[in-house]
Structure 1
Amino acid sequence: MNRAKTKHTRPSTVWLDESAFRSEQLSPNSTASPHIQPPTIQKMATAVITPGSMEPHPGRPNARILQLNQNPWDTFEPAAGSSQDRSLIFARNKSERGKLVHIQQLEKQFSPATGFLELMEQVAHPSFLKLLECYHHDASCTLIWEPTEVSVSHILASSCSITTDELVGIVKPVLEGIQYLRGLGRALATLGPETILLTQSGDVKIMGVENSCEIKESEMNPATMKLCALADVVTKLMLKNRTYEWETEIQNLPCQLESISVEEILQNEMFTRDSCEGELKLLVSVANKTAYHGIKSYYARC
């Protein structure tokens, strides 16, 4: 059978390469932000964010996001920049050099929409990318996010394939995030391989919850809840290992995502059994090394 070759484009990610900033000739003691001119900045959604639109939820963490009126580069130093989205910077804390973050610089004319920080504080769930701090300086805003290593797009572009435990390890947190938003009367605006991220320790994080929107119960279905989009991601991951003997439950998962509720899906035995901590850690490491660097994987996948 002839398989069409798929050309993978590199998603916006950050690599540990300081050469991106050497050309900027930053002084080690400089507190000015790097001279980065982003070609385009994605405007943050405003219409979908309504201040005070969510009722307090018993037992839900309501961690305050620290807001500081100071230059973020007094606290952080850049380590690398994204090859595509020049507004995204990988950095470390100057005083705690082991503390790594992703920094998103917004152009002066762009600032978080009204209610953005309130939403990020209220929508607190382990499945969502965490906003750590917000800096205001010179009429501009800088967002400090927890760092991630790869996206599912990297995994699809890498030479390594996927096993049942790894696929379940990716899908379950996404389902739990979707279920959590459903309980708040909200849904993700988009979901795809590029918005499902993994940390170095193998935790799964969904990007873009700040753009989630309120949705009526009558309008909630597999398409609006992004379960159909998740089904497409599952299918693509399964195709990474065509010779693997997938369990029947996994083979049926894409169809189930498009036909039954997220609550029913999470009751499936494959999502209720105990999973090992750090299950995805090796996959993250291998995918990071093989996605775009021409390194052959010897990771046994069958």
Structure 2
Amino acid sequence: MKNYKYDNLIVASSPHLVDSITTSKIMAMVIIALMPAFAVSIWVFGARAIFLTGICIIACVVFEYLFNKITKKPSTIGDFSAVVTGILVAFNVPVNFPYWMAIIGCFVAIIIAKQLFGGIGQNFVNPAITARVVLFLAFSTEMTSWPTPQRIFLATDAVTGATPLALFAKQNFDQLPSNTEMFLGTIGGCIGETSALALLIGGLFLLFKKIISPTIPVSFLGTMVVISLIAGIDPIFQICAGGAMIGAFFMATDYSTSPLTTNGKIIFGIGCGLITMVIRLFGNYPEGVSFSILFMNLIVPHIDNLSRRKLYGGGVKND
């Protein structure tokens, strides 16, 4: 009788799918999609945008490597997820933000929000969003000292000014930039959120490559537009200002922290847009994107349970 060897067989639960797409390829696509916004940040704010983004990338990769080393887990720095997190952390802070504070944000994103919950795919909140919220609560002055576009190089001091959302909240409407300026990104703000055009290009690239679905971005931004029209304010201003575009395309669509079903994604996007606009219109803080995504991340399990497809069939109990 012939002996068969099963050493090469891999036993795993269904579904048994083989796909050429990998985590590293997905993250590489996200990095490419973020490059237009990165290029605009260099053009608007100067070389310091490069240094701050580079430091955040290095810090995130080092934190992930050290955590895996200390806990004796396989290294995951090759999947590029830490690189994406580093870019997004940098994109969510002002260009004159102190380096050491940015490193703290990277620690929060990688160690606390990601690795302590099991690593990529196990985290229940978006790491970059968590870092931004923590940095805002811990260093509110530095997080709201927005530099004006003037090609900042290595200096940490810069002429600061109010962002469009801050001007809107204070009802300084005569000082608001035009929608064209906001669309192109020649305004003050965080490194990666100023240019709606660059973020839209990146988002459309991800949609074209089918890395993300349009459900969350459309429902997120669409809800903001509807509420803006109801409130009698300019919807173009609202979706171009602040972190709406980067949040809708790059952070709300995170696989680990967004719903699985299409209906769930719609609920998630509407919730993000609704909370964002409520904070912008009635809150003390002019921006609500980070808080809205973080809050909706927390209730994703409940959204999945509510939107899960019900199975047909089943027996009927007879008396």
Q: TM-score, normalised by structure 2?
A: 0.26
In terms of fraction of residues, the more helix-rich structure is 2
| Structure that is richer in strand per residue | 1
Larger Rg: 2
